[in-house]
């Protein structure tokens, strides 16, 4: 009677788990979207957007050349980055600098701030680090939209890209009632820092996806966010388990969300934050093609 050695079975199982966890944590997944809008100018029909988020020092290939080449292979018209390209308490921003060097301004790059950049800017004695980070990324081609708007043109047509910087209290305070303490993001806050939404087609990059309805009410047609790391561990049919805001099974964990004619893409991010594992949640590049209806 044929018998399989138990040691061989154990070795095979362990080998599979090692390969599986490596694949889950260190290989890139491209998620593709084709979004149709009736109000998209004809000149932007077929416009290719690539989004990345939440690098936190993560590298793919030597000096992040693997990430740079993978994005360039998508031939984007624009690269939008939705924050946390550095960690607040770890000097890991070199991974982002290396990526930018290899990407070499292959297309225009726009970025909004995440909570980790904001924390780094406020840490005592750490202002030089934050200033150096901002100066470096600008030299390498990043246009930072810190509560700013910019018009992007194709021929005679244009769209607006806005970058929202939320206050830190808009993130992780769960020990108080947001509404009672006036700590929730509001449309009036957005109008105070960004102004009213401009006429035409509007893209908003904002790190925290929790305020999807407020972004829609402000007037964003397409919102790009990150922050949630895909929920760290994803359960089939239930979604991401953990949010960065200490909430189980957050509503806006990853993927595409719709409200009326507005859409939000929540990128799962590239790296880790406090939990150094990803399960059924590979590092993600979002590839979005805009189509005119």
Q: Using N-to-C axis directions, what is the helix angle for 94-103 and 65-73, rounded to 10°?
A: 40
Report whether 220 contacts 197 (CB < 8 A): yes
**Burial of 119: CB neighbours in 10 Å, binned 0-12, 13-18, 19+:** middle
Q: What is the pLDDT of residue 273?
A: 76
Q: Report all structural domains of the chain as residue ranges with CATH numbers, in order of start.
A: 30-292 (3.60.21.10)
Using alpha carbons, select from 49, 41, 45, 78 the residue that is nearest to residue 156: 41
**Can you tell me the distance from the alpha carbon of 267 to that of 209, in angstroms, rounded to the nearest whole number?**
10
Secondary structure of 101-157 in HEC code, one letter for each residue: HHHCCCCCEEECCCHHHHHHHHCCCCHHHHHHHHHHHHHCCEEECCCEEEEEEECCE
Query: Which contacts of 130-135 are long-range, i.e. CB under 8 A and separated by 24 or more positions?
Result: 133/86, 133/93
pLDDT tens for 233-267 read 999 888 899 887 778 889 999 999 999 999 999 99
- What pLDDT is attached to residue 6? 83
- pLDDT value, residue 7: 86
pTM of the model: 0.93
* Torsion sign over Cα 130, 135, 136, 138: positive
- CA 50 to centroid of chain Cα atoms: 10
pLDDT per residue over 34-75, tens digit each? 999 999 999 999 999 999 999 999 999 999 999 999 999 999
Polymer length of the chain: 293
pLDDT at 42: 97
How many other C-beta atoms can be found within 10 angstroms of the C-beta atom of residue 249? 13
**Residue 81: helix, strand or coil by DSSP?**
strand
What mean pLDDT comes out for the span 188-207? 96
The pLDDT, as a whole number, for residue 105 is: 97
Residue identified by tokens 């990150």 is 226
């Amino acid at each position: 009677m044929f018998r399989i050695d138990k040691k061989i079975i154990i070795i095979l199982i362990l080998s599979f788990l090692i390969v599986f966890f490596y694949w889950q944590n260190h290989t890139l997944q491209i998620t593709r979207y084709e979004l149709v809008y009736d109000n998209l100018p004809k000149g932007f029909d077929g416009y290719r957007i690539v989004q990345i988020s939440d690098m936190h020092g993560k590298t793919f290939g030597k000096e992040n050349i693997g990430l740079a080449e993978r994005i360039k292979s998508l031939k984007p018209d624009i690269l939008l980055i939705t924050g946390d390209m550095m960690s607040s308490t770890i000097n890991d921003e070199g991974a982002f600098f290396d990526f930018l060097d290899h990407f070499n301004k292959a297309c225009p790059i726009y970025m909004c701030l995440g909570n980790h950049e904001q924390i780094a800017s406020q840490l005592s004695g750490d202002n030089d680090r934050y200033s150096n980070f901002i100066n470096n990324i600008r030299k390498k081609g990043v246009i930072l939209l810190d509560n700013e708007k910019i018009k992007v043109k194709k021929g005679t047509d244009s769209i607006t890209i806005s970058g929202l910087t939320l206050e830190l209290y808009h993130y992780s305070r769960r020990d108080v009632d947001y509404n009672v303490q006036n700590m929730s993001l509001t449309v009036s806050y957005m109008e105070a820092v960004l102004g009213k939404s401009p006429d035409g087609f509007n893209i908003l990059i904002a790190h925290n996806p929790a305020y999807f309805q407020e972004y829609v009410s402000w007037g964003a047609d397409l919102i790009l966010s990150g922050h949630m790391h895909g929920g760290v561990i994803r359960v089939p049919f239930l979604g991401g388990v953990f949010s960065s805001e200490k909430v189980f099974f957050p509503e806006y964990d990853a993927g595409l969300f719709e409200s009326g004619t507005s859409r939000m893409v929540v990128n799962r991010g590239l790296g880790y934050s406090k939990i150094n594992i990803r399960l059924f949640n590979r590092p993600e590049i979002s590839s979005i093609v805009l189509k005119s209806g």
